[in-house]
Amino acid sequence: MAGHSKWANIKHRKGAQDQKRGKIFTKLIREITIASRLGGGDLESNPRLRKAVNNAKSNNMPSGKIDKAIKKGTGVLEGVSYEETIYEGYGPNGVAIIVEVITDNKNRSVAELRHAFTKFGGSLGETGSVSWMFEKKGLIIIKDNSLGFEALFDLVIIAGAEDIEEYDDGYIVTTPFELLMEVRKVIEDKGCVIKSADYEMLSKTTQKLERAKSETIINLLASLENNDDVNKLFSNLEIE
């Protein structure tokens, strides 16, 4: 099984997001809206929308907000038109960064991202400049496990998961991206409470920095994460 070090940044990010409930709702609504715009409003035939709605429910979003976001995405209700774009770049000390943006103003978003990268000694790159360093994986965070670790381990591995790790008061399950929703359903059917199930871009190799040298890159990542247009943020930073 893999070591714990690779979860350090994920755990930090998840904890920070938990403290920004309003911002989480905003990002979840944007994801639901764009998922329904791209694939339609039917949960059964739109896996991305089904995943977004499940995550919204896991974060206790009211059903009225979810329905409204779907209707805006499908055009039943008038609303803002969002675009989804992926940006790649390098932070200080060669840390690779991928930024997923959902925005109603692409020019504004890229200007703000470029400003943040430049401010903290990084730079935006071309498409593909860093994405080759990452693998797209499913990530399921379980906050309540009624089975016990051994039974949960057997369950998720048989279902197709690649890894499971304890974290804080729960567990993180890694899956092939294609099996994310399938493994989630298996876990939920056994009565476990899932906090989130989404994809992560996990780095194949990490850029290790001593804590004393990591302050600038941490500030850059925090600046990007605080941008309302940023939906997801990934890096290969590992703090020694």
3-state SS of the chain?
CCCCHHHHHHHHHHHHHHCCHHHHHHHHHHHHHHHHHHHCCCCCCCHHHHHHHHHHHHCCCCHHHHHHHHHHHHCCCCCCCCEEEEEEEECHHHCEEEEEEEECCHHHHHHHHHHHHHHCCCEECCCCCCHHHEEEEEEEEEEECCCCHHHHHHHHHHHCCCEEEEECCEEEEEEEHHHHHHHHHHHHHCCCEEEEEEEEEEECCCEEECHHHCHHHHHHHHHHHCCCCEEEEEECEEEC
Question: Among the listed ranges 3-12, 20-29, 197-206, which one has the minimum average pLDDT value?
Answer: 3-12
Q: Which of 74, 96, 117 is the C-terminal boundary of a domain?
A: 74
Closest CA to 203 of 234, 228, 232: 234
Does residue 223 have a pLDDT over 60? Answer: yes
CB 83 within 8 A of CB 92: no
Q: Which of 74, 92, 111 is the C-terminal boundary of a domain?
A: 74
- How many domains would you assign to the chain? 3
Domain check: are 70 and 92 in the same one? no
Q: How far apart are CA 62 and CA 168, in angstroms?
A: 27
Does residue 114 have a pLDDT over 80? Answer: yes
Domain check: are 226 and 120 in the same one? yes
- When pLDDT is averaged across residues 114-120 and rounded to a whole number, the result is 97
> What is the band of 113 on the pLDDT scale with cuts at 50, 70, 90?
very high
- By CB neighbour count within 10 A (0-12 exposed, 13-18 middle, 19+ buried), where does 6 fall? middle
Query: How long a stretch of residues is the chain?
Result: 240
Domain check: are 126 and 137 in the same one? no
Higher-pLDDT residue of 93 and 78 is: 93
- When pLDDT is averaged across residues 200-223 and rounded to a whole number, the result is 92
In the sheet with 230-235, reading across from the earlier edge strand, the strands are 123-124, 83-90, 96-103, 230-235
Domain check: are 87 and 191 in the same one? no
> What is the band of 135 on the pLDDT scale with cuts at 50, 70, 90?
very high
Domain check: are 155 and 51 in the same one? no
Output the average pLDDT for the chain.
Answer: 88
CB 100 within 8 A of CB 200: no
The predicted model scores a pTM of: 0.80
Q: Which residues is 61 bridged to in the sheet?
A: none
Count other Cβ atoms within 10 Å, centred on residue 170: 18
Domain check: are 10 and 67 in the same one? yes
Domain check: are 154 and 122 in the same one? no
- When pLDDT is averaged across residues 55-61 and rounded to a whole number, the result is 89
Q: Which residues is 173 bridged to in the sheet?
A: 140, 164
- When pLDDT is averaged across residues 131-156 and rounded to a whole number, the result is 90
> What is the band of 21 on the pLDDT scale with cuts at 50, 70, 90?
low
Domain check: are 196 and 217 in the same one? no
- When pLDDT is averaged across residues 55-69 and rounded to a whole number, the result is 92
Count other Cβ atoms within 10 Å, centred on residue 32: 27
CATH number, domain containing residue 139:
3.30.70.980
Higher-pLDDT residue of 145 and 160 is: 160
> What is the band of 1 on the pLDDT scale with cuts at 50, 70, 90?
very low
Query: What percent of the chain clears pLDDT 70, i.e. is strictly above it?
Result: 91
Please tell me the predicted confidence (pLDDT) of residue 9: 53
Does residue 12 have a pLDDT over 90? Answer: no
Q: Which domain holds residue 119?
A: 83-132+206-239
Closest CA to 225 of 86, 85, 101: 101
Domain check: are 150 and 175 in the same one? yes
Domain check: are 150 and 123 in the same one? no
Domain check: are 103 and 193 in the same one? no
Domain check: are 127 and 212 in the same one? yes
